[in-house]
Amino acid sequence: MRAPRLTDALGPFAAAARRVAAGALDLVYPPVCIACRRAVAGHFALCPACWTKLRFIERPYCERLGAPFDVDLDQPGLLSPEAIANPPVFSRARSVVLFDDGPARLIVHRLKYYDRLELARPVGKWMARAGAELLDEADVIAPVPMHRLRLAARRHNQAAVLAAAVSRETGVPAAMRALERVKPTAPQVGLSRARRAANMQGAFRVAEEGRLAVLDRRVVLVDDVMTSGATANAAARALLRAGARRIDVLTFARVVTGA
């Protein structure tokens, strides 16, 4: 029979101390919805109204692009017309929600522009669930990098923050410096699909120190939002040229035209 340890005896007291600390934190920083800032029962949560407005992506969806189908044809492995006409460089993409003008946009913008880095905790949990099939087969996670000039202005790369959160949630190691962004690309907002692809051409490279992290590895590329896939394609192309075995993509949100 194992002799009782001091930590066993202190267990109830430690749990009580954590509850007291949590209560004190709630008094100083009352929990609010991560999207609309209304009061909620606990930290890192959504209010019921915002939860119902989030459009979570579930099957049936295109197995390559992860875009949802309007009708369930009950045929596993279906590809969308877009994936057939313009096959992506990466193998598969998965996202948590559709990107719209509701809570999804608020969450992305607060993480991206307002230094709300704590939002990566719940978002990372959602991403780990949405990308479970990708992450179960992954050797490494790599964030889409930001050019050093933009990083200096913004102070953080939201993709790196999300990659770290997904790594903590799943145990898949993150190679934060596997990719470099060597071209200060113009913002993609408002560009056509063709111009987005041209804008991203040559934007990424794998540095020599990052090559070992991805060589013959199955990489999950992490970003906050996927729109046309031009960024993901350019990053995936650089990783494959560096010897990566396969590239999958995981984002919090994705834009679907007409959704």
pLDDT digits (tens, 9 = 90+) for 192-208: 777 777 777 878 999 88
Q: Which residue has tokens 């953080």?
A: 156
Q: What is the pLDDT of residues 216-230, one digit of tens each?
A: 999 999 999 999 899
Q: What is the pLDDT of residues 112-141, one digit of tens each?
A: 888 889 999 999 999 999 999 999 999 999
Q: What is the pLDDT of residue 12?
A: 60
Q: What is the pLDDT of residue 21?
A: 47
Question: 3-class SS at 185?
Answer: coil
Q: Which residues contact 48 (CB under 8 A, 6 or more apart)?
A: none
Structure confidence at residue 9 as a pLDDT band (50, 70, 90): low
**What are the residues facing 247 on neighbouring strands?**
219
Could you check whether the bond before residue 60 is cis, i.e. omega within 30 degrees of 0? Answer: yes
Across the range 156-163, mean pLDDT stands at: 95
Could you tell me what percent of the chain has a pLDDT over 70? Answer: 85
Dist. CA 179–CA 235, nearest whole Å: 8
Dihedral of the CA atoms 128, 82, 98, 226 (nearest 10)? 60
Q: What is the pLDDT of residue 95?
A: 98
Judged against a pLDDT cut of 70, whether residue 190 lies above it is answered with: no
Dist. CA 169–CA 158, nearest whole Å: 17
Across the range 148-168, mean pLDDT stands at: 90
Dist. CA 138–CA 5, nearest whole Å: 39
Across the range 70-99, mean pLDDT stands at: 90
Residue 92 contacts residue 249 (beta carbons within 8 Å): yes
What letter represents residue 149's amino acid? L
Higher-confidence position of 105 and 207: 105
> Class of 56-254 per CATH?
alpha beta
Where does 77-192 have alpha helices with state H?
A: 81-85, 103-113, 120-130, 132-135, 148-154, 158-170
**Which token pair is 171?**
């145990």
Judged against a pLDDT cut of 70, whether residue 23 lies above it is answered with: no
Question: 3-class SS at 181?
Answer: strand
Helix (H), strand (E) at residue 45: none
Q: What is the pLDDT of residue 135?
A: 98
Q: What is the pLDDT of residue 114?
A: 86
Give the residue extent of every domain in the chain.
56-254
Judged against a pLDDT cut of 60, whether residue 2 lies above it is answered with: no
DSSP strand pairing (180-181 vs 246-254) = unpaired
Across the range 163-185, mean pLDDT stands at: 93
Average pLDDT in the chain: 87
Q: Which residue has tokens 């996927």?
A: 226
Across the range 149-161, mean pLDDT stands at: 87
Please count the helices (runs of H) and the strands (runs of E) in the chain.
11, 6
Q: What is the pLDDT of residue 107?
A: 96
- What pTM was computed for the model? 0.85
Question: 3-class SS at 248?
Answer: strand
Of 56, 98, 131, 89, the closest CA to residue 238 belongs to 89
Judged against a pLDDT cut of 80, whether residue 18 lies above it is answered with: no
Q: What is the pLDDT of residue 28?
A: 55
168-188 burial, b for 16+ CB within 10 Å, e for fewer? ebbebebbbebbbbeeebeee
